[in-house]
């Protein structure tokens, strides 16, 4: 998942970028809904005292763009789509590490792939209706998958389906790849090659079923009917989105799609984040959208005894980093890249990110508690290479001299909001300390991300800020998507390998790990760990920190749970 930026088609975005969200208690360590110690009472997933009813109000600084689920790639809409729509499978709708488990949703069970891992046969539940009263049938899924190609948007998740290679916005025929039998109520998906992550991809909202009659073109701000406990009553990006109960919903799986507690969910747009905080403090709303970064001058209030019990801090499987442009000098030189990694003051970056409660310094790509993660940081003072402890300017300057790039001009590109600008300024300071002549290039957030991805602009910057949040818990979602050779798309605004780094031997290891993942996940994760370390050694990035997320709620919200995939489970909270 991409970073929190306003650009639409860039992976999952939080629509705020300085996500200084922290969580003190690691989900894994807590083994439960996960929350800071200040809010243990509301972090439990127990439904004691739970009651249905009320209107749950979320305040977000801005809307999430176009609402068509085939295109929208933002966490903001996904947190609502999981309540209104369903797919064949789903992430377990509970907090904690259990929330990363895939469970059957509209499928009656998880199929074992056959035909060398290329064929999945799903048995579809009967008697489920869309919010418009239509009965859901297997053939509805054919339209759903075809729309993924006819509507402009991310297509890579399902490009392995037979027939997908011939699909485009002009038309798509997946009759060989997605075979529906409405009489037997089965759905067969045929892939061109085995994909151990395919069930994860099916759990993403792109694959949530819509009626077969849904237009194959972008539906704009009209969300097609779904099968979830809620339905979209309205969505106006200039004011609010309203979800109400789906009258046709009957719970079939508490793990995949439990009945929600609030009767209505409203997400309002347009206030400043500071005003959102004030409103939630005063219980005039229930949640500051967790993708909106709470300004640092408001964080101190949240530390107070009056509000701290309503604050939940959780670790994110995410990276904040600077990509190094490997196309042009000086960072087409390995020693130069390693030099800035030794010089980068990660302590300062953490302070800009909100302090040690909200950010943890890192040198590597995979985040903690992620499959394949083994701590590794060679770019530190001292001999312990499992964690970063300080800069090593002597080593950094030596490497700069050895690279022959001393004195070169370096342009540091970043977004123009306060936090990103501060990070860029710190990077400039770090570069200048080791002998470069650095300067900042600040662009507004919605422009900056596509700008740095497009190779047409590669001569204009040398270092670029970015961030990445998981799409699903798989190492390839970080390593292959962000540093794989296949993720470089010249002249495109969607080329997530921003550094344009390609190492064929590391790529071969990634391909091996992906293939092995289906039959031997443990060995695959070992290979992913080696890939992560090898990539860190090649230093296409300066990785700064893994952020944490803050959820700030009103005093009437109970039943808070943190799911590693969807973050706050909105409809599983009740109001009292």
Partner 1 sequence: MAAILEQAEVATELRPAIAGRNPWLLAGRRLWHNRIAMAALVLFLLIVVVSLLAPLYASHIAHTNPFVNDLNGTTIVHGKRVPLMQQGGGLLKLGETPIGPTWDVHHYFLGADALGRDVAARLLYGGRSSLLIGIGSAVICCLFATVTALIAGFFGGVTDSLLSRLMDVIWAFPVLLFAITVGTELQTLPHGLAVGPVHIVATSLWLPTLIIAFIYVPYVYRPVRGQVLTVVHREYVEASISQGASNLRLLFSDILPNVITVVIVLLPLIIATTILT
Which stretch, 25-33, 168-176, 251-259, 296-304, contacts partner 1 (CB under 8 A)? 296-304
Dihedral of the CA atoms 441, 443, 449, 453 (nearest 10)? -40
Give me 255's structure tokens. Answer: 């793990």
Phi, psi of 248 (to 5 degrees): -95, 0
What is the x/- site pattern for partner 1, positions 245-284, by CB under 8 A? ----------------------------------------
The residue (of 355 and 404) whose beta carbon lies closer to partner 1 is: 355
Phi, psi of 440 (to 5 degrees): -95, 155
SS (H, E, C) 24-73: CCCHHHHCCCCCCHHHHHHHCCCCCCCCCCCEEEEEECCCCCCCCCCCCC
Binding footprint of partner 1, residue count (CB under 8 A): 44
CA 432/CA 440 separation, integer angstroms:
12
Residue 203: closest CA among 487, 443, 563, 570: 563
CB of 306 to partner 1, least distance (A): 10
- Alpha-carbon torsion (272, 274, 277, 279), positive or negative: negative
The residues that bridge with 13 in the sheet, in sequence order, are 74
CB of 37 to partner 1, least distance (A): 7
Our finding on whether 354 is near partner 1 (CB under 8 A) is yes
Phi, psi of 525 (to 5 degrees): -65, -35
Binding to partner 1 in span 452-481, by CB under 8 A: 457, 459-460
SS (H, E, C) 123-150: EECCCCECCCCCECCCHHHHHHHHHHHH
Q: Which of 128, 242, 352, 410 is close enough to bind partner 1 by CB under 8 A? A: 352
Our finding on whether 316 is near partner 1 (CB under 8 A) is no
Binding to partner 1 in span 436-455, by CB under 8 A: 439, 441-444, 447, 451
Our finding on whether 299 is near partner 1 (CB under 8 A) is yes
The residues that bridge with 438 in the sheet, in sequence order, are 410
Q: Which of 112, 183, 238, 304 is close enough to bind partner 1 by CB under 8 A? A: 304
The residue (of 44 and 457) whose beta carbon lies closer to partner 1 is: 457
CB of 314 to partner 1, least distance (A): 12
SS (H, E, C) 261-301: CCCEEEEEECCCHHHHHHHHHCCCCCEECCCCCCCHHHHHH
The residue (of 385 and 432) whose beta carbon lies closer to partner 1 is: 432
Binding to partner 1 in span 525-554, by CB under 8 A: 550
Q: Which of 159, 425, 518, 526 is close enough to bind partner 1 by CB under 8 A? A: 425
Give me 298's structure tokens. Answer: 């408001």
SS3 359: strand
Q: Could you tell me if residue 369 is left (phi over 0), alpha (psi between -120 and 50 degrees) or otherwise beta?
A: left
Q: Could you tell me if residue 114 is left (phi over 0), alpha (psi between -120 and 50 degrees) or otherwise beta?
A: beta
The residue (of 304 and 505) whose beta carbon lies closer to partner 1 is: 304
CB of 489 to partner 1, least distance (A): 21
Q: Which of 68, 105, 290, 345 is close enough to bind partner 1 by CB under 8 A? A: 345
Q: Which residues contact 552 (CB under 8 A, 6 or more apart)?
A: 277, 280, 287, 288, 294, 302, 307, 310, 311, 312
Our finding on whether 399 is near partner 1 (CB under 8 A) is no
Which stretch, 241-249, 292-300, 505-513, 559-567, contacts partner 1 (CB under 8 A)? 292-300
Our finding on whether 389 is near partner 1 (CB under 8 A) is no
CB of 567 to partner 1, least distance (A): 18
Residue 51: closest CA among 287, 260, 312, 246: 260
Give me 562's structure tokens. Answer: 């943190």
The residue (of 221 and 308) whose beta carbon lies closer to partner 1 is: 308
Q: Which of 189, 313, 510, 542 is close enough to bind partner 1 by CB under 8 A? A: 313
Which stretch, 88-96, 212-220, 229-237, 305-313, contacts partner 1 (CB under 8 A)? 305-313
CA 277/CA 59 separation, integer angstroms:
9
Q: Which of 128, 311, 340, 415 is close enough to bind partner 1 by CB under 8 A? A: 311
CB of 2 to partner 1, least distance (A): 21
DSSP E strands, 420-556: 437-443, 463-469, 541-553
The residues that bridge with 59 in the sheet, in sequence order, are 268, 288
CA 408/CA 329 separation, integer angstroms:
8
The residue (of 24 and 524) whose beta carbon lies closer to partner 1 is: 24
Give me 316's structure tokens. Answer: 């994110």
What is the x/- site pattern for partner 1, positions 16-55, by CB under 8 A? ----x-x-x-----------xxx-----------------
Q: Which of 186, 347, 385, 495 is close enough to bind partner 1 by CB under 8 A? A: 347
Q: Which of 422, 434, 513, 575 is close enough to bind partner 1 by CB under 8 A? A: 422
CB of 302 to partner 1, least distance (A): 6
CB of 286 to partner 1, least distance (A): 20
Our finding on whether 134 is near partner 1 (CB under 8 A) is no
Q: Which of 48, 112, 305, 504 is close enough to bind partner 1 by CB under 8 A? A: 305
CB of 100 to partner 1, least distance (A): 26
Q: What is the DSSP string of 523-571?
A: HHHHHHHHHHHHHHHH-SEEEEEEEEEEEEE-TTEE---EETTTEE-GG
Site residues, partner 1 (CB under 8 A): 20, 22, 24, 36-38, 296-297, 299-300, 302-305, 308, 311, 313, 345, 347-348, 351-352, 354-358, 411, 418, 422, 425-426, 429, 439, 441-444, 447, 451, 457, 459-460, 550
């Amino acid at each position: 998942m991409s970073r929190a930026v306003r650009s639409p088609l860039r992976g999952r975005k939080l629509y705020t970028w300085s996500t200084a969200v922290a969580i003190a208690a690691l989900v894994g360590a807590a083994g439960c809904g996960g929350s800071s110690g200040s809010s243990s009472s509301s972090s439990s997933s127990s439904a004691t005292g739970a009651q249905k009813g009320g209107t749950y109000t979320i305040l977000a600084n801005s809307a999430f763009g176009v609402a068509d689920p085939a295109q929208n790639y933002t966490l903001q809409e996904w947190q609502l789509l999981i309540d209104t729509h369903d797919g064949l499978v789903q992430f377990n709708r509970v907090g904690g590490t259990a929330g990363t488990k895939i469970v059957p949703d509209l499928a009656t069970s998880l199929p074992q792939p056959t035909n060398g891992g290329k064929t999945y046969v799903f048995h579809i539940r009967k008697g489920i209706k869309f919010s418009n009263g239509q009965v859901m049938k297997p053939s509805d899924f054919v339209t759903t998958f075809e729309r993924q190609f006819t509507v402009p948007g991310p297509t890579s998740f399902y490009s392995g389906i037979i027939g997908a290679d011939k699909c485009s916005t002009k038309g798509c025929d997946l009759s060989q790849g997605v075979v529906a039998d409405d009489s037997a109520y089965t759905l067969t998906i045929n892939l061109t090659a085995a994909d151990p992550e395919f069930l994860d991809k099916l759990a993403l909202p792109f694959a949530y079923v819509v009626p077969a009659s849904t237009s194959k073109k972008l539906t704009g701000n009209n969300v097609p009917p779904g099968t979830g406990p809620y339905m979209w009553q309205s969505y106006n990006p200039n004011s609010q989105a309203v979800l109400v109960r789906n009258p046709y919903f009957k719970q079939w799986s508490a793990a995949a799609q439990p009945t929600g507690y609030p009767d209505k969910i409203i997400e309002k747009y347009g206030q400043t984040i500071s005003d959102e905080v004030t409103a939630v403090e005063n219980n005039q709303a229930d949640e500051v959208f967790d993708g909106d970064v709470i300004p640092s001058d408001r964080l101190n209030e949240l530390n107070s005894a009056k509000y701290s019990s309503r604050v939940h801090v959780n670790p994110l499987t995410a990276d904040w980093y600077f990509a190094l442009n490997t196309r042009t000098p000086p960072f087409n030189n390995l020693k130069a890249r390693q030099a800035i990694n030794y010089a980068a003051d990660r302590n300062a970056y953490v302070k800009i990110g909100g302090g040690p409660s909200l950010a943890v310094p890192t040198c590597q790509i995979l985040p903690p508690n992620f499959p394949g993660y083994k701590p590794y940081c060679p770019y530190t003072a001292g001999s312990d290479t499992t964690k970063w402890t300080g800069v090593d300017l002597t080593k950094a300057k030596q490497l700069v001299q050895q690279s022959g790039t001393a004195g070169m001009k370096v342009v540091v590109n970043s977004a123009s909001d306060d936090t990103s600008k501060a990070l860029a300024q710190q990077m400039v300071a770090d570069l200048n300390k080791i002998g470069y002549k650095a300067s900042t290039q600040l662009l507004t957030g919605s422009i900056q991300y596509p700008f740095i991805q497009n190779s047409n602009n590669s001569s204009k910057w040398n270092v670029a800020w970015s961030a990445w949040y998981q799409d699903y818990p798989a190492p390839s979602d970080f390593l292959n998507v962000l540093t794989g050779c296949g993720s470089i798309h010249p002249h495109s605004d969607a080329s997530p390998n921003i550094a344009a780094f390609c190492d064929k031997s590391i790529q071969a290891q990634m391909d091996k790990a992906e293939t092995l993942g289906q039959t031997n996940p443990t060995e695959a994760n070992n290979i992913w760990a080696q890939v992560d370390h090898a990539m860190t050694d090649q230093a296409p990035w300066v990785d700064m920190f893994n952020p944490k997320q803050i959820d700030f709620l009103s005093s009437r919200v109970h039943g808070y749970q943190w799911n590693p995939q969807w973050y706050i489970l909105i409809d599983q909270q009740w109001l009292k």
